[in-house]
Structure 1
């Protein structure tokens, strides 16, 4: 019926949970990682002999809303959504208005690739990226165009 946990104990548990979540975000090599509670998206990564293949689920995004960059062995995929839905009745009174704003981000560590030959295309809500491999060398920097 009622929550019998004392108020102070409840606050301590909440603070502990928040601290744990904060620490999890920065655990892996000091890099920001996105878990279930963050704006992330599903990806599949496959490795073949000559290339890596990334497929990211980004339904409802146009290619203009997505940016892909490669810098310091980090492949970054960022998608930004700004959507405003407004419904009015016959007297032009707003009866419903919804806003959806968000930024979705994933980063992957990838080395020894031909960064100037990365290919990306968006098809039916799936972003497909082909990342050709090269022999080991120095990291590059490149902005990838989506076709």
Structure 2
């Protein structure tokens, strides 16, 4: 026996499918195809009483490939990869060549930190940053005279 679907049910499924396609186009990130292939590195940030701790997964990077900047309360981690692998045969012809280029950048806002005491260490593909806190500065109040 045949399974028959009422025509209205089939139309509802088509309509739902069409709505889903419409939503996928307008609700996705413009760069999502790039993000799927070129993901940024994963980070964990924890806050303790005296410091913030950042752990970033950077497997395959050397410490020379990593730059950390602190400017205007923004901690920015740059990791750049520039690897080239070549395989040649006995006649010195290249039989396989692979290149891995890319730069990954993440920024985080941190406030009331001791910038001169920030430390970073790369251990087994994990970048560990300790950002010591300083006592928050109280906002000052100033009366401004109108001329």
TM value normalised by structure 2? 0.69
Contact 1:83 1:99 in 2 (8 A): yes
The equivalent of 1:104 in structure 2 is 104
Which structure: greater helix fraction?
Answer: 2
What does residue 133 of structure 1 align with? 133
Deviation per residue, 1:18-54 (Å, 9 max, x gap): x952499xxxxxxxxxx65644101111111100111
Q: SS at 1:59's partner residue?
A: coil
Matched with 1:53 is 53
Q: For 1:1-147, what aligned pairs fall within 5 Å after superposition? A: 16=25, 20-22=28-30, 38-137=38-137
Higher relative contact order (CA 8 A, sep 6+): 1
Task: For residue 125 of structure 1, report the CA deviation from its aligned partner.
Answer: 1.0
Runs of 4+ off more than 6 Å: none
Please say if residues 39 and 102 of structure 1, whose CA atoms lie closer than 8 Å, have aligned partners that are also in contact. Answer: no
Deviations 1:69-110 (A, max 9, x none): 111111000000000010011111111001100001111111
- Cα distance in 2 between the residues matched to 1:23 and 1:42: 18
Q: What do the CA deviations read for 1:98-147 (whole angstroms, capped 9, x no partner)?
A: 11000011111111111111011111111110000112249xxxxxxxxx
Aligned length: 117
Q: Which has the larger radius of gyration?
A: 2
Q: What residue ranges of structure 1 are gaps of 5+ in the alignment?
A: 1-12, 25-34, 139-147
Greater Cα offset, 129-138 or 107-116: 129-138
